[in-house]
Amino acid sequence: MFNIANQPHEPSWYAATANDRHPYPSLEGTVDADVCVIGAGLTGISAALNLAERGFSVVVLEASQVGWGASGRNGGQMIAGYACGMDTFAEQLTEGELQHVWQMGQETIDIIRRRVDRHSIDCDLTFGYLHAGNKPRDETALMASRDEAATRFGYDRLHWVPKAEMNRYVQSDRYIGGLYDPDSGHLQPLNYTLGLARAARGAGVRIFENSLVTSLGEPASGKHRVSTAKGQVNASFVVLACNAYLGELAPATSRKIMPVGTYVIATEPLGPVRGGALMPANAAVCDSRFVLDYFRMSPDDRLLWGGKVSYSTMQPPNLAQAMRRDMLATFPQLEDVKIDYAWGGFCDITMNRAPHFGRLSPTVYFAQGFSGHGVNTTGLAGQLIAEAIAGQAARFDLFAKLEHRDFPGGTLLRTPALVLAMAWFRLRDWL
């Protein structure tokens, strides 16, 4: 479905400003490890780093380059919690378990903060996030989520920004208000991923790029045989961290997720005066529509604008122009501004938008389905996988016990079915 082998990074603003690019060899010959991680995005590198810190020998196999997939292309927004609401978890967990899952959602931000500080990762980490309301009905929903966070989970740092004060965050008349979270924020995701890889390498992790896994062999003599075109890893444990690119490595698991195209543009530099006036608080912003827009400022005073979600696996035609039209609907004052970069990629979603963690066997772990919250939730996934492999599986198993449904129609029919569903959601956004 996707050509993922031996591919360079997408020509994005992220790739143009990558500051920690270390080339890794491709796998040749046979190597042994305690754990073989497949995929060198945020999930895989986070798992590898956590495992190495616990004393495991780890090999990471990446089909192209570190951070090549969604980890190095996304909107860079780190939003505490999960893409689904807490009611999704409440349907299957006890109240005590629900409280633990909530706290882990907040922990996802702390993980990033600690990693950036400990490993001196230069990724423009910035705090502040605004969930903007598009229509009057959004105020009720956003304030209800604020109240639930405070009364049910003891988190009282969210505050409502009325329309009269929105110009402190975004110079646009499009929004009726918003919910501000000072603990969420944004970063340069490719630099964060590359920085984690550098830290993993320093901890002893062996990373191999341009090493597409062709087969995941059955265990023999207590070891899995993970094969590439030119090599093999013998490992006691395997971690599948492929997300939207899992494909045929684990067909039953890949049916639980759906690849979704998402896209970003970067304007030419606006300069500190114009850029600072556009978004004075330098917060990340996401709107309240189902087919949402999200945006933020870069350190070099560009507007990074994301959206234009596609469920068809086809990139929208004339991507830069189409994205620019969306941007101008919020910022008509940027009519004279040029677009310097336009790029896209695929993340994966689950049916219920809850993250999907589990085991294919007692020694094969997976984490997928971050559904748009992967910047930070991947760090939690990597930590929980390492805990579980080390014999402390209680936290991992809270997520593993969640039931996830296959997307209807299989790989052939799920795409047209979702395209039709998206037409309905777009209509609902307009009403």
Indicate if the pLDDT at residue 425 is higher than 50.
no
- On the question of pLDDT at 137 being above 80, the answer is yes
Give the per-residue pLDDT at 410: 57
Q: What is the pLDDT of residues 48-100, one digit of tens each?
A: 999 999 999 999 999 999 999 999 999 999 999 999 999 999 999 999 999 99
Q: Can you give the pLDDT at residue 408?
A: 79
- 3 state SS for the chain: CCCCCCCCCCCCHHHHCCCCCCCCCCCCEEEEEEEEEECCCHHHHHHHHHHHHCCCCEEEECCCCCCCCHHHCCCCEECCCCCCCHHHHHCCCCHHHHHHHHHHHHHHHHHHHHHHHHHCCCCCCEEEEEEEECCHHHHHHHHHHHHHHHHCCCCCCCEEEEHHHHHHCCCCCCCCEEEEEEEEEECCHHHHHHHHHHHHHHCCCEEECCCCEEEECCCECCEEEEEECCEEEEEEEEEECCHHHCHHHCHHHHCCEEEEEEEEEEECCCCHHHHHHHCCCCCEEECCCCCCCEEEECCCCCEEEEEEEECCCCCCCCHHHHHHHHHHHHCHHHCCCCEEEEEEEEEEEECCCCCEEEEEECCEEEEECCCCCHHHHHHHHHHHHHHHHCCCCHHHHHHHCCCCCCCCCHHHHHHHHHHHHHHHHHHHHHC
Q: Which CATH number fits domain 13-73+190-256+352-419: 3.50.50.60, 3.40.640.10, 3.40.630.30, 2.80.10.50?
A: 3.50.50.60
Contact at 8 Å (CB) between 363 and 340?
Answer: no
pLDDT for 354 equals 96
118: β partners: none
pLDDT at residue number 409: 65
Q: Delimit the domains of the chain by residue range.
A: 13-73+190-256+352-419, 125-186+258-350
CATH fit for domain 125-186+258-350, picks 3.40.50.300, 3.30.9.10, 3.30.70.980, 3.40.1410.10: 3.30.9.10
Per-residue pLDDT tens for 28-53? Answer: 999 999 999 999 999 999 999 999 99
pLDDT at 424 exceeding the cut of 60: no
Q: What is the pLDDT of residues 270-326, one digit of tens each?
A: 999 999 999 999 999 999 987 899 999 999 999 999 998 777 666 777 899 999 999
Average confidence score pLDDT of the chain: 92
- Give the strand pairing for 206-208 and 339-350: unpaired
- Encoded tokens for 58: 């780890």
pTM of the complete model beyond 0.85: yes
Please tell me the predicted confidence (pLDDT) of residue 247. 82
Confidence (pLDDT) at 220: 66
Tens-digit pLDDT profile for residues 207-224 = 999 999 999 987 667 899
> How many beta carbons lie within 10 A of that of residue 390, not counting itself?
13
Share of the chain above pLDDT 90, in %: 83
Residue with tokens 């919910």: 179
